[in-house]
């Protein structure tokens, strides 16, 4: 199967290219009866759109979303929902000079060897413009999960280069995340991150970092052992985002230095005799199934490929070349990737909720 669809019962299929006519998504399997309008989706897209601050790409797109099907009299009908945003500020001419040159660390070379034909305008489908579609679909899943269970999928920029925030998750709110242009809710660290991104941008370079994601109050019992464990599907979702190079779940790599006696999350009873955990090193799942405790994970992004600093490379015709990339690019994609991470988490959870319901009648 080609790889343009994700999810089983809440299934999304994205389409469109960076500098083509439009980008969009078909969302199939959304339960009927959910109140839905463009106003529920647009705020998430505004968090992802280009040109939103001095530290993102200057490309100017409004990313206005249109619902073309699947909603009647303000409610979902249970039929496929088509969401589309038309590209307005496409400038294919920026890419003319790179048409035959392979950008180091981008998809130009591999798209050529795989398909033999490549839409070179703004990287075509390898561009993160495709993630607009995921964010639009994710907004539906987020709304459903929040209204039904009070579940919230949130994430923030924890690290840029070597600058890292140690803020505790309990103190993180969506308002605090969005208050900062770098989407780090810890102001002192956020200011340092912004200064670093500006420095890197002035040096015609790029820089990576880490997004910390968490899902507050997920429903218990979600996850399909043995291959579709919740963390396994979350890992796939995150690693499918452009420029992601690492995924860590729960205590992740830090757990390797701990003893079992330290790492084990004890069970206890609350005052209503309800079973709960005394700690959460597991990250909210056991054996791939949600416990109901908060889920948390980390996603590592590389410094992105397209930089105007000169780099040695080769052409399609196997000639040496030097590339100083033109076009409008993000010096650090993390602030714009936060809503993408949230959306993918919500899509995974929504899909697993429907799968759980399908078996547990």
Ligand X SMILES: Cc1cc2nc3c(=O)[nH]c(=O)nc-3n(C[C@H](O)[C@H](O)[C@H](O)COP(=O)(O)O)c2cc1C
Residues that bind ligand X (CB under 6 A): 57, 106-107, 126-128, 131, 241-243, 302, 304-306, 329-330, 333, 336-337, 340
Minimum distance of ligand X from residue 174's CB (angstroms): 18
Closest to ligand X by CB, 43 vs 225, is 43
Helix/strand/coil for 266: coil
Minimum distance of ligand X from residue 91's CB (angstroms): 13
Residue ranges of E strands in the chain: 5-6, 11-16, 22-28, 66-69, 71-72, 75-76, 81-86, 152-160, 163-164, 209-216, 244-249, 267-269, 275-277, 285-286, 289-290, 295-301, 311-314, 320-323
Closest to ligand X by CB, 17 vs 330, is 330
Question: Any idea what the Cα angle at residue 46 is, between residues 161 and 178, rounded to 5°?
Answer: 50
Minimum distance of ligand X from residue 271's CB (angstroms): 44
Question: Any idea what the Cα angle at residue 240 is, between residues 236 and 243, rounded to 5°?
Answer: 130
Closest to ligand X by CB, 12 vs 289, is 12
Minimum distance of ligand X from residue 183's CB (angstroms): 11
Q: How far is CA 356 from CA 10, 29, 181, in A?
A: 12, 14, 38
Closest to ligand X by CB, 329 vs 355, is 329
Q: Six-digit token pair at 296?
A: 């948390």
Minimum distance of ligand X from residue 131's CB (angstroms): 6
Closest to ligand X by CB, 280 vs 308, is 308
Residue that the structure tokens 């083509």 belong to: 20
Closest to ligand X by CB, 139 vs 289, is 139
Distance CA 140, CA 30 (A): 8
Minimum distance of ligand X from residue 129's CB (angstroms): 8
Distance CA 306, CA 116 (A): 22
């Amino acid at each position: 199967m080609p790889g343009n669809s994700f999810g089983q019962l809440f299934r999304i299929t994205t389409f469109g290219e960076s500098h083509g006519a439009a980008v969009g998504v078909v969302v199939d399997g959304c339960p009927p009866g959910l109140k839905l309008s463009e106003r529920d989706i647009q705020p998430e897209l505004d968090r992802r759109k280009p040109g939103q601050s001095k530290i993102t790409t200057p490309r100017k797109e409004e990313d206005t979303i249109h619902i073309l099907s699947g909603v009647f009299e303000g409610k979902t009908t249970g039929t496929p929902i088509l969401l589309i945003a038309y590209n307005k500020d496409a400038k294919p001419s920026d890419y003319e000079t790179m048409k035959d040159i392979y950008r180091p660390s981008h998809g130009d070379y591999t798209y050529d060897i795989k398909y033999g034909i490549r839409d070179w305008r703004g990287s075509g489908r390898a561009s993160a413009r495709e993630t607009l579609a995921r964010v639009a679909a994710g907004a539906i899943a987020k709304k459903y999960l929040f209204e039904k269970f009070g579940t919230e999928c949130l994430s923030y920029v924890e690290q840029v280069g070597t600058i890292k925030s140690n803020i505790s998750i309990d103190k993180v709110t969506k308002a605090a995340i969005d208050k900062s242009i770098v989407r780090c809710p810890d102001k002192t660290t956020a200011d340092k991150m912004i200064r670093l991104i500006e420095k890197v941008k002035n040096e015609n370079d790029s820089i990576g970092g880490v997004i910390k994601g968490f899902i507050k109050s997920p429903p218990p019992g979600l996850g399909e052992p043995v291959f579709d464990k919740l963390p396994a599907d979350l890992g796939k979702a995150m690693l499918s985002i452009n420029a992601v190079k690492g995924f860590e779940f729960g205590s992740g790599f830090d757990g390797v230095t701990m003893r079992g006696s330290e790492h084990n999350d004890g069970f206890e009873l609350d005052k209503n005799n309800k079973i709960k955990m005394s700690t959460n090193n597991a990250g909210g799942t056991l054996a791939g199934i949600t416990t109901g405790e908060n889920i948390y994970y980390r996603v590592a992004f590389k410094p992105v490929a397209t930089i105007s600093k000169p780099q040695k490379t080769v052409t399609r015709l196997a000639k040496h070349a030097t590339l100083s990339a033109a076009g409008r690019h993000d010096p650090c994609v993390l602030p714009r990737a936060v809503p993408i991470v949230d959306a993918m988490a919500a899509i995974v959870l929504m899909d697993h909720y429907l799968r759980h319901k399908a078996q547990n009648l």
